[in-house]
C-alpha cells in the first residue's frame, strides 16, 4: 500500500475514533481541528477510549499506548496535510463548510494524496470539483464505535479512479474494517439509508406526543433484543450530527422543521449526546443499560 501517513480532519466523536483506530493498526496519524481547544479535547477523548479497547476487544495497555504514540495533534491545516498520503475528512455535515475545506486542502496537500469524506449523507460528486483531484476523491463512512461496529462504507463518484477505490478498500481492511463496497452513489449509503427513516419515525412519535423517548426506546429494545433504541442511537451518533442532517433535508422536506427545532433545543442546552455526557440520556450510565429499564 502507498498509504503510510494519514490525516484525520475533524476530531469529534467519530473523527477521534477513526484517528485512533488507524493509529492502533499501525499508521502514523495526524489529528487536525480548527483550534487548540478542540485539539486538546480530542487528545483527552482518545485517551478515554482505553477502557473500551481493553474491555471490548481485549487490547493490552501496551498496544493502546503504541497507538497513542503514533498520533500527533495540530490546529495548523497546512502542517496537518503537508505530507499526508490520505486525508479523511470528518468535519460537520454542512456542504458549504466541506466545500471551503476541500478548496483549502486541495492547494495544501501533496498532489498524490487521496481525499476521503466520512459524510453521513452527502455524495462525493457534490465536492469532487472542489478537491481539485476528482479521480482521487471518494467517501469512506464509518459507524460509531469503530472498534466494534467495524464497517467502512466506500462510495466513489463517477470520476473516482478504480485503482484509488481499490486502495481505499485495502486501507479499510488494514485498519480492521469490513469494506462495504457501493457500486453507485447513494445519499446515506446503505447503513443510513436504513437507519435514518427509522430514526425519523421515532422522532415523529416523540414530536406528536405519542410517547416519550424512553418509552419508544423501551419498545424497540424489548421487542427486537437490540442493545439500543432510536434515541440511544441518536445520542451515540451525536445530536449535532443529527441536527445537521435534518437541517440539510429541510429544503426538500420542510415538514422536518419541528424535529430540527427540537434537536436545536437540545444543542442550545449543551446536550450533545454521549460526547457531552448528556443527550436524551445521561452518560456513562444511561438508563437503557440498567436491568430495570424494560420494567419501568
Domain ranges for the chain: 5-182, 190-289
Residue 12, phi then psi, degrees to nearest 5: -70, -160
Calculate the CA 97 to chain-centre distance.
16
Query: CA 240, CA 277: separation in Å to the nearest integer?
Result: 14
Give the per-residue pLDDT at 275.
85
Query: CATH for 5-182?
Result: 3.40.50.720
- Does this model's pTM top 0.75? My answer is yes
Alpha-carbon distance values, 148 to 21, 124, 142, 152, 188 (Å): 11, 26, 11, 12, 20
Alpha-carbon distance values, 210 to 30, 76, 221, 228 (Å): 46, 48, 17, 20
Q: Which helix (H) or strand (E) holds 116?
A: strand 114-117
Query: CATH for 190-289?
Result: 1.10.1040.10
213-224 and 191-207 helices, crossing angle to 10°: 130
Give the per-residue pLDDT at 1.
60
Give the per-residue pLDDT at 252.
86
Give the per-residue pLDDT at 237.
86
Kindly report, residue by residue over 136-155, the tens digit of the pLDDT. Answer: 999 999 998 999 999 999 99
Nearest to 44 by CA among 277, 282, 289, 285: 277
50-57 and 61-69 helices, crossing angle to 10°: 130
C-alpha cell at 219: 419498545
- Using 70 as the pLDDT threshold, list the residues of the chain that sit under it: 1
Q: Are 143 and 90 in contact (CB under 8 A)?
A: no
Give the per-residue pLDDT at 121.
86
Q: Are 256 and 239 in contact (CB under 8 A)?
A: no
Give the per-residue pLDDT at 248.
82
Amino acid at each position: 500500500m502507498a498509504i503510510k501517513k494519514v490525516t484525520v480532519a475533524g476530531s469529534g466523536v467519530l473523527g477521534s475514533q477513526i484517528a485512533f483506530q488507524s493509529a492502533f493498526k499501525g499508521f502514523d496519524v495526524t489529528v487536525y481541528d480548527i483550534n487548540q481547544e478542540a485539539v486538546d479535547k480530542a487528545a483527552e477523548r482518545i485517551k478515554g477510549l482505553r477502557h473500551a479497547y481493553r474491555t471490548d476487544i481485549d487490547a493490552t495497555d501496551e498496544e493502546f499506548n503504541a497507538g497513542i504514540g503514533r498520533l500527533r495533534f495540530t490546529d495548523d491545516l497546512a502542517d496537518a496535510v503537508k505530507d499526508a498520503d490520505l486525508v479523511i475528512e470528518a468535519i460537520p455535515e454542512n456542504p458549504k463548510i466541506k466545500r471551503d475545506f476541500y478548496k483549502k486542502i486541495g492547494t495544501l496537500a501533496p498532489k498524490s494524496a487521496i481525499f476521503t469524506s466520512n459524510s453521513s449523507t452527502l455524495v462525493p460528486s457534490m465536492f469532487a470539483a472542489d478537491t481539485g483531484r476528482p479521480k482521487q476523491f471518494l467517501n469512506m463512512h464509518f459507524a460509531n464505535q469503530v472498534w466494534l461496529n467495524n464497517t467502512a462504507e466506500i462510495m466513489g463518484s463517477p470520476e473516482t479512479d478504480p485503482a484509488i477505490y481499490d486502495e481505499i478498500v485495502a486501507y479499510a481492511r488494514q485498519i480492521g474494517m469490513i469494506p462495504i463496497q457501493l457500486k453507485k452513489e447513494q445519499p446515506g449509503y446503505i447503513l443510513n439509508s436504513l437507519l435514518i427513516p427509522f430514526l425519523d419515525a421515532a422522532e415523529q412519535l416523540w414530536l406528536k406526543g405519542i410517547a416519550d423517548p424512553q418509552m419508544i426506546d423501551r419498545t424497540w429494545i424489548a421487542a427486537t433484543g437490540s442493545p439500543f433504541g432510536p434515541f440511544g442511537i441518536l445520542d451515540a451518533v451525536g445530536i449535532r450530527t443529527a441536527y445537521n442532517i435534518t437541517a440539510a433535508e429541510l429544503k426538500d422536506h420542510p415538514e422536518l422543521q419541528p424535529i430540527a427545532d427540537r434537536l436545536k433545543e437540545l444543542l442550545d442546552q449543551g446536550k450533545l449526546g454521549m460526547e457531552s455526557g448528556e443527550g436524551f440520556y445521561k452518560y456513562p450510565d444511561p438508563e437503557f443499560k440498567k436491568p430495570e429499564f424494560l420494567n419501568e
